[in-house]
Each structure stands twice: as C-alpha cells, then as structure tokens.
C-alpha cells in the first residue's frame, strides 16, 4: 500500500472553492477533506465539524501551544489551522487528503510536505469575483472590503502553486481538479518504482531519477 497524496485548494474568497470541493469529494473515491479549525464566526448554513471546527481564540492558541496544527495562519483577521493528526493518519493509510486553506497555509504545507500538490483557483476576472462575493451575502461591508483588498495579495503568491484552475464554469473547474488528482495518483515516485521492480524482478537503471 502506498502513502496517500496531499492536495491543497486555495484562492481568494468568493472564487468557488467550496462548490468545487463539494463536487470533487462526491465523484473522486478514496479522497477526504481535512476539516480546519477557525475562530471566525459561523456563517448561516454552516455546521460545526462539517465545514469547520469553530473554536474561540483561547482554545485555538492552546492547540498551537500543544503543536496540534500542521499549519496555522491569520486570515482576514481570524485564525485558521489544519489539524496535524487527522492528515497524517489518513495519508499513512493510503487515503488522499485535500485541504481547503488560504495561500499562507498552502505555502507552509509545501514547506513541510514537499510532495503536496497545490491547486490555486482563480476567478475569470476581478469584477466577477466582486459580484460573487456580494451575491453570497455572507460578509458585512467591512469584511467584504477586507476580502476584496486581500484578493490581489493572495493571487500574487500563485507562483508557489503547482496548478492554476480558472473557475469560469463550475463543471469544467471540477473536472480539471478531478483530473489533477488522478494524474498525481499515477505519478511515479521512488516508493512506486521500487515496488514495481520488486514485483517484476527488474533492476533500477543507474540513470534513474528515482
């Protein structure tokens, strides 16, 4: 059994990450979402333990002190963190894990898990991003302006990512992310090469990159 893959899905607020992730989780087997912890208020329709684990700042900082996060960051004024144990447990069992986290978090994950694959979701243009944020009606005016102000800063970090997906059409964006996951599952690595050589009695070539 091979170790699972780690995927990261990031992008500005309102770009459609939740919609893409929800669909991908339904159609791709052996893939689970890591549920992050956050100190931000719960939005209408969100469930604790499904969308996020909603905790107060005191609890979050206690978890930081106990080193329970794979990564954590301040995003739009709130704390967000990825639980370390859940991710490591799934990957060790051969299950792929996908994280929906901010750009800072994605970069930090890549530093820890160099094999993690980072996917950046983009809007077709800034006006469409603004329209989507306004239409979802989940932020007050101050929060909305913060997210719009932060969007160009987040996009400026795209060079740290492995893939870019423009979400102009949800069906197409979902299919692109699905294809990325399947392609990465078939990517060779040292572990897989050695496994196949053992099965078929081959000898690794001296010029092999593995």
Distance CA 14, CA 36 (A): 18
Asked whether residue 204 is marked as a ligand-binding residue, the answer is no
- 3-state SS, the chain, equals CCCCCEEEEECCCCCCHHHHHHHHHHHCCCEEEECCEECCCCCCCCCECCCEEECCHHHHHHHHHCCCEEEEEEECCEEEEEEHHHHHHHHHCCCEEEEECCHHHHHHHHHHCCCCEEEEEECCCHHHHHHHHHHHCCCCHHHHHHHHHHHHHHHCCHHHCCEEEECCCHHHHHHHHHHHHHHHHCCCCHHHHHHHHHHHCCCCCCCCCC
Confidence of residue 206 (pLDDT cuts 50, 70, 90): confident
Per-residue pLDDT at 138: 76
Q: Is 121 annotated as a binding residue?
A: no
pTM of this prediction?
0.88
Is residue 36 marked as binding? no
Contact (CB, 8 A) for 142 and 120: no
pLDDT digits (tens, 9 = 90+) for 161-180: 999 999 999 999 999 999 99
85 marked as binding residue: no
* CATH 3.40.50.300 is right for the domain spanning 6-200: yes
Q: Which residue has the higher pLDDT, 110 or 142?
A: 110
Q: Is 15 labeled as ligand-binding?
A: yes
Is 48 marked within a binding site?
Answer: no
Residue 18 annotated as lining a ligand binding site: yes
32-76 pLDDT, tens digit each: 999 999 999 998 899 999 999 999 999 999 999 999 999 999 988
Neighbours of 2 (CB within 10 A): 10
Distance CA 49, CA 58 (A): 18
In tens, the pLDDT along 81-109 reads 999 999 999 999 999 999 999 999 999 99
Confirm or deny that 10 is annotated as ligand binding: no
What's residue 209's pLDDT? Answer: 82
Q: Does the pLDDT at position 208 exceed 90?
A: no
């Amino acid at each position: 059994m091979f170790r699972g893959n780690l995927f990261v899905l990031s992008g500005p607020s309102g770009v459609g990450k939740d919609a893409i992730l929800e669909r991908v989780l339904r159609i791709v087997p052996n893939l689970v979402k890591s549920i992050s912890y956050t100190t931000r208020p719960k939005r209408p329709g969100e469930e604790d333990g499904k969308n996020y684990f909603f905790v107060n700042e005191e609890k979050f900082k206690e978890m930081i002190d106990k080193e329970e996060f794979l990564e954590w960051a301040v995003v739009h004024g709130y704390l967000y963190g990825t639980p370390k144990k859940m991710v490591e447990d799934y990957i060790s069992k051969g299950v792929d894990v996908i994280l929906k986290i901010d750009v800072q978090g994605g970069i930090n994950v890549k530093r820890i898990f160099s094999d993690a694959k980072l996917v950046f979701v983009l809007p077709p243009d800034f006006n469409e991003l603004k329209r989507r944020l306004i239409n979802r009606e989940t932020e007050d005016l101050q929060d909305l302006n913060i997210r719009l102000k932060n969007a160009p800063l987040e996009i400026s970090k795209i060079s740290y990512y492995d893939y870019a997906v423009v979400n102009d059409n949800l069906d197409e964006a979902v299919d692109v992310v699905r294809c990325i996951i399947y392609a990465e599952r078939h990517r060779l690595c040292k572990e897989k090469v050695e496994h196949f050589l053992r099965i078929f009695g081959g000898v690794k070539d001296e010029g092999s990159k593995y």
